[in-house]
Amino acid sequence: MDKLSEIMAAKRREIEPIIRPVRDSELSNLGERMRSGPSFLDALSSPDELSVIAEIKRKSPSAGEIATGTSAVEQAREYINAHADCLSILTDQPYFGGTLEDLWEVNDFICVHNRSTPTLRKDFMVHPVQVLEALEAGAKAILLIVRALNDDELKILRNAADNAGLTCLYEIHEEAELEKVLPHNPQLLGVNNRDLKKFKTDLAVTERLFPQIPEGIVKVSESGIIEPADAWRARQAGADAVLCGEALMRAEDIEDFIDQMKDCD
């Protein structure tokens, strides 16, 4: 079993105790009450500079321990002060050291301090109850890993997200996944430079796939952004945004790192 299959199997077991029917009206009614500030998609739609999604990541299967014990709120504060456009918050505990509580606490911080930075719940989504959790915790977007989901699951999760008013960041790694996702009319599409089967990373994946993505879809290059020059390379390939986690978690000067990534036009 490859690593992604292992993680998805573990996630399906993990959420079994909380699975229940989630009505469209439950999502839409709560979504109406939660709606405020810019959408995740709008925050990434600047034509003038590369947008940055800064990720809170304590560990990963590929990197091991990155920043064990880091406060999600304090990391978010640094990212927001450094002008990150959006935040990605990992809520998977076994493999990435995140929790749903991190998402709640970061969004509470954003609300209390009158900030407007949208957040992504980054997890292995398989059921609408996870979309409801993301909405309740204040997220503006969810991640859908195309390789890990069948067409019916993609439709069900997209429908739940649409009812909740959340943006879907669809994630692909190869041409077959691009063909699979296009009928779902993605507005936001991420190319993961890391192969989640082998955990090998190569920015050439972005360079190969981005020219094949139709116009009008906001494009995000994910993983492998180790230094600002990698963000510049992604921008040259057509990226509207980059998602960066490990390098920012380790950076001594987060603001300078983000400034350099943005200063690539």
Is there a contact between 264 and 237 (Cβ–Cβ < 8 Å)? no
* pLDDT score for 265: 60
Asked if residue 190 is part of any domain, the answer here is yes
Q: What is the pLDDT of residues 13-43, one digit of tens each?
A: 999 999 999 999 999 999 999 988 889 999 9
Asked if residue 23 is part of any domain, the answer here is no
Asked if residue 28 is part of any domain, the answer here is no
Q: What is the pLDDT of residues 219-249, one digit of tens each?
A: 999 999 999 999 999 999 999 999 999 999 9
Residue 201 has pLDDT above 90, yes or no: no
Q: What is the pLDDT of residues 118-142, one digit of tens each?
A: 999 999 999 999 999 999 999 999 9
* pLDDT score for 199: 74
121 burial level (CB within 10 Å; 0-12, 13-18, 19+): buried
Asked if residue 242 is part of any domain, the answer here is yes
Asked if residue 204 is part of any domain, the answer here is yes
Three-state SS across 32-100? HHHCCCCCHHHHCCCCCCCEEEEEECCEECCCEECCCCCCHHHHHHHHHHCCCCEEEEECCHHHHCCCH
Q: What's the whole-number average pLDDT of the chain?
A: 94
Asked if residue 22 is part of any domain, the answer here is no
- Global pTM value: 0.96
Instruction: Please give the tally of structural domains in the chain.
Output: 1
Task: Return the CATH number at 158.
Answer: 3.20.20.70
d(CA 166, CA 86): 14
Asked if residue 152 is part of any domain, the answer here is yes
Rounded to an integer, the average pLDDT of 163-176 is 97
Asked if residue 142 is part of any domain, the answer here is yes
Query: Structural domain of residue 226, as residue ranges?
Result: 3-16+34-262
Give 246's DSSP letter.
H
